[in-house]
Amino acid sequence: MAKNEELVFGIHAVNALINAAPERFIEIWLLKGREDDRIMPIINLSRKYGIGTQLASRKALDEKSEGEQHQGVIARVRPGKSYTENDIDDIILAAEKKSIAPFFLILDGVTDPHNLGACLRNADAAGVQAIIVPKDNAAQITPTVRKVAVGAVESVPLVQVTNLSRTMKQLQKQGVWIVGTAGETDTCLYDVKLSGPMALVMGAEGKGMRRLTRENCDQLVKLPMAGTVSSLNVSVATGICLFEMVRQRSI
């Protein structure tokens, strides 16, 4: 596959991308013999937009997806827009034009693509305007991320920044209050005000936030843990924190 091409697999991911940007499609491979109710919308949209389709065996699709679950559909597409720190001001401005307080998720070194995909799905559901990640030592958009995110990659910009601490200071200058999660704090998530312009920071799997990231947070919070397990999966914890923010922002 050429450098300027990407693979997208999974019914939700392909369907969401066709609806959002059909012009990016080069071709679609479909599992031979599969024409059920879940795959037909993709077939109909490919015909509508003149996207070439090919029938392929399960073995061929398995090889293209490198063993990941493809659900009988794989697309070859052109890359979409890449977001950097230069786009953050525009994202904030777009939110303010809709009278919506800025709402960001910052992932500090989350490297597992399944966790990034799940965080994108959480962010989309919670109304987060963008996810901010470091350019290095962090998961990037991959076919696996797209599949796990079930379409959220197309609705939530993933902003890759060269210096996370500098970006956090940029957000603070724009009036965004930054809350980080850390097990060592005594402050519970449910005891703090989480409305208004907000950014939630979640640390890497196992290690948590880096020192500079922690120091640049305006407040640290933790989830109350009643059992013997000391921490939750980062995507699960992200969902809990984001929806507490959603609850408070809607009051």
Annotated binding site: 203, 223, 232
DSSP one-letter string for 127-146? T-SEEEEESSSS----HHHH
User: 128 burial class (0-12, 13-18, 19+ CB within 10 angstroms)?
Assistant: buried
* pLDDT tens, residue order, the chain (251 aa): 556 788 999 899 999 999 999 999 999 999 998 878 889 999 999 999 999 999 999 999 999 888 788 999 999 999 888 999 999 999 999 999 999 999 999 999 899 999 999 999 999 999 999 999 999 989 999 888 998 998 899 899 999 999 999 999 999 999 999 999 988 899 999 999 999 999 999 998 778 899 999 999 999 999 988 877 767 899 999 999 999 999 999 88
Q: Give the separation between CA 29 and CA 143, rounded to whole angstroms.
A: 14
Q: 3-class SS at 4?
A: coil
* Domain locations in the chain as residue ranges: 6-77, 85-249
> Strand pairing partners for 203?
108
By the 8 A CB rule, do 73 and 31 touch?
Answer: yes
The domain 6-77 is classified under which CATH number: 3.30.1330.30, 3.30.70.270, 3.40.1010.20, 3.40.50.620?
3.30.1330.30
By the 8 A CB rule, do 143 and 68 touch?
Answer: yes
User: Reduced to 3 DSSP states, what percent helix, strand and coil does the chain have, rounded to the nearest 5?
Assistant: 40, 20, 40
> Strand pairing partners for 181?
221
Q: Give the separation between CA 138 and CA 143, rounded to whole angstroms.
A: 15
> Strand pairing partners for 104?
130, 199
The CA-CA-CA angle for residues 137, 143, 148, to 5°, reads 90
DSSP letter for 192, please.
S
Residues 6+ apart with CB under 8 A from 170: 85, 88
Q: Give the separation between CA 105 and CA 22, rounded to whole angstroms.
A: 28
Please name which of 246, 237, 172, 165 lies closest in space to residue 202, comparing C-alpha atoms.
Answer: 237
Does domain 85-249 correspond to CATH entry 3.40.718.10? no
Residue bearing tokens 């070859």: 76
**CA 154: distance to chain centroid?**
9
Annotated binding site for S-adenosyl-L-methionine: 203, 223, 232
Residue bearing tokens 């031979």: 32
**CA 210: distance to chain centroid?**
20
Per-residue pLDDT reduced to its tens digit, 47-97? 999 999 999 999 999 998 887 889 999 999 998 889 999 999 999 999 999
